[in-house]
Amino acid sequence: MENIKLKYGCNPHQKNAQVYCEKLPITILNGTPGYINLLDALNSYQLVRELDIALDLPSAASFKHVSPAGAGVCFPLSEEEKQMYFVKGELSPLAVAYTRSRGADRLSSFGDFVALSRECDESTAKCIKREVSDGVIAPSFSDKALEILKAKRNGSYTVIQIDKDYVPPKSEKREIFGITFEMDRNDVIFDKSYLENIVTDKKQLTQSAIIDLIVASISVKYTQSNSVCYAYRGQTIGVGAGGQSRIHCTRLAGDKADRWLLRRHPKVLNLPFRAKLSRNTKDNVIEQYLNEKREIDLFSKDKLEEYFDGPVEILSEKEKEDYLKNIRGVSLSSDAFFPFEDNILRAYRSGVNYIVQPGGSIRDDQVIKACNDLDIVMAFSNLRLFHH
């Protein structure tokens, strides 16, 4: 029996933490992972592995507290997105996927655990090095990438290599309060076959929508339920996790999607930040700039001088609303059925034109009608994706 001693359990006072298995499929190449680090690492790696299998594209995820802050595949970055993500120069395909996963919700990704579906190359390692992060898991690392990552966080950055050929047992177990639970592992790979049962009047899915619906669905599969995920251009842009009410998940994820979409607004892209401001500070300032109830008065004289090199144009609530009204083509996946049409109405406000959900509500007809009224394409996957 192989085991790895951990720093501690979920909290520092929970000592004597370890993971063990007949033959562990992971090797710690650097650092000392904690209990939550490994929960994030193993859940996030499953997500990116399945994305790569379903789409045959390099994939990455950014995890916090056992749910994705973001996930993405190698979908080319526009100049606008490079500006949003503070990217300069050319990136490898895997680095593009990582940049998308980290850029989905940059505030939530602060201090994340990273998962990569393919060998971590130098380009990706350089991107990870610039961000505040706890660790990374990948099937392998190039020599240069490993050198870069081992130097991160004064040499304490956690780097985990996982056996890409590892196949877990069909049955999985967990213990809660001294009681062992057992079930078949959820080994379904969500691919385009689950998008074939289109139940709305409008039937056509674009190729980009197919990619986005798969990205969103595999992401909700590894998000604490209830969960809803918005996706656009090969990445998640809003994840609502762990809500007891589906409409609250839809609103939470929709609000995150709105902030991502508004980061593309010309007034945001052209904020006159001071030259040496850190990316993390810029992220926080942008969050405050987009928040109508700002905790920080960004326009007081001292704050203007601290963050900006010139005058700042306010983005009014009316401008935000008008901008979002023109957004279309966003995709949405739900891990269980929508019980009411209010979810559809809220999703539409964030540019959603494509939806996949299991179906099976007694009000399916009302939900379908709401989609038809708003010209939304909706597929029933007949596959619930709860994750706990």
Residues labelled catalytic: 64-65, 226, 388
φ and ψ of 246, to 5 deg: -65, -40
Asked if residues 337 and 169 have their Cβ atoms less than 8 Å apart, the reply is no
Query: How far apart (Å, rounded) are the C-alpha atoms in residues 130 and 151?
Result: 12
φ and ψ of 97, to 5 deg: -60, -45
> Which residues are CB-neighbours of 376 under 8 A, at least 6 positions away?
200, 202, 344, 347, 348, 352, 353, 354, 355, 370
Q: How many CB atoms lie within 10 A of CB 15?
A: 10
Helix residue ranges per DSSP H, 139-180: 143-150
Compute the radius of gyration of the chain from its Cα atoms: 21
Tokens representing 386 are: 């709860």
Query: How far apart (Å, rounded) are the C-alpha atoms in residues 121 and 149?
Result: 11
| Three-state secondary structure string covering 2-23 | EEEECCCCCCCCCCCCEEEECC
49: three-class secondary structure by DSSP? helix
Q: How many CB atoms lie within 10 A of CB 144?
A: 14
Asked if residues 63 and 112 have their Cβ atoms less than 8 Å apart, the reply is yes
How, if at all, do strands 171-176 and 179-184 pair?
antiparallel
**Cα-based distances in Å from 203 to 232, 286, 307, 349, 359:** 19, 38, 48, 21, 16
Asked if residues 28 and 159 have their Cβ atoms less than 8 Å apart, the reply is yes
